[in-house]
Amino acid sequence: MCTRRWRNGFTLIELLVVVAIIALLISILMPSLQRARQQAQKAACLSNQKNIITACAQYANEDSSGVLIPMHWSQVSRELIGQGFWLERTAMWFSYGGNGTTQPFNTSDPDNGGGEFTLNESLRHPSIESLNWGTAQRPLARSMYPDVDDTAKDLKIFRCPGDRGYPSGYPEGVIDDAPEGCFDTPVYDVIGNSYRASFANFKPSRSAPERMHFGIFGQRFDRLENASRLIAGGDPLFFNFIGTDSNAGYSKIDAPGWHGEPMTDNLFYADGSARPTRAVPKDDESYLPTQEDATSWGVDDRSMLLRGPNWQLDCFSMPGAAVGNISVPSQKERLWPYRGRALYAFID
């Protein structure tokens, strides 16, 4: 009598085939899942930015200064002058809103107020005893959340889901908007706000009492022109993609934004919109006004005009904004925006 023997389980070959099929399916699906995740993050980021610029417009309509981008007191205060390069160059761009931080703001360069300190309830800086950049000191946060206190650290509207910080791995000077000690750390964690305001091109100097701005910073909301093109702020890598400010020799930075698209990041605009925006080199002649137009505006250096196919950082031909308790040196009156134009002065 023959006895039929039933085989239990799989052979090794069958198991390997199944594993191979699963691995193949994962390799096929992973890019799609990654793209779906990036799309979800991008949509959430755009929603944040839309809410932020709507709050900025409300702030401008209610505040006596009427500025679209609220100004932190340190931006027009003499206390900050000469007290740390990276405080002026990086942190102040984000201080209009946001909350307390969870990671140190690390500036390792001893010649530029170097050291590791926090932008938290009370900022401790090697050369400043106490400089309060807590949540309640950030004007937009205080406007949106009237009962907020300086210890608040979870205002998620100011956090981009794709925030991975300023990237490392590029040649020195390519990423020049933040100290290297903060690279690869979410901006939200070290500054309290993922979204940089468009503080492009202070002239004639960076010192607070002598600031002249020809971008959106310091401009009254009710005087802005070309609002649908005028960038108010957004993901900060965009402002690096267009090229360096530190004369490092790079006219553009070819890198992916926080949402995975080359040289593209989410930005919010003066008209209340928010959209992904692709950067072009800031010296791209195809998008600059003609020299005749620039001359008629009093512009001697067209490199001050920063524009792309559907965006701009400069407010030409509007007058510039005097930011701080400012006196205009007579020898600079020949340059835009002094030539025959009224100035909006913000007096601290």
Q: Which residues pair with 125 in a beta bridge?
A: 128
Q: Tell me the pLDDT band of 8, cut-offs 50, 70 and 90.
A: low
pLDDT digits (tens, 9 = 90+) for 181-227: 889 999 999 889 999 998 766 554 444 445 567 788 878 888 888 99
pLDDT at 121: 37
3-state secondary structure of 147: coil
* Distance from C-alpha of 224 to C-alpha of 318, rounded to nearest angstrom: 8
pLDDT of residue 164: 94
* Pairwise CA distance, residues 151 & 344, whole Å: 34
Three-class DSSP category at 234: strand
The amino acid present at 312, given as its one-letter code, is Q
* Confidence (pLDDT) at 308: 92
pTM comes to: 0.81
Q: What are phi and psi of 57, to 5 degrees?
A: -65, -40
Q: What is the mean pLDDT of residues 130-154?
A: 81
> Which of 198 and 332 is assigned the larger pLDDT?
198
Kind and range of the H or E run holding 144? helix 139-144
User: What does the alpha-carbon distance between residue 195 and residue 152 come to, in Å, rounded to a whole number?
Assistant: 17
Q: What are phi and psi of 79, to 5 degrees?
A: -60, -30
Mean pLDDT of the chain: 77
Residue 179 has pLDDT above 80, yes or no: yes
Nearest Cα neighbor of 313 from 234, 214, 219, 245 is: 214
**What is the Cα–Cα distance from 177 to 28, expressed in whole angstroms?**
38
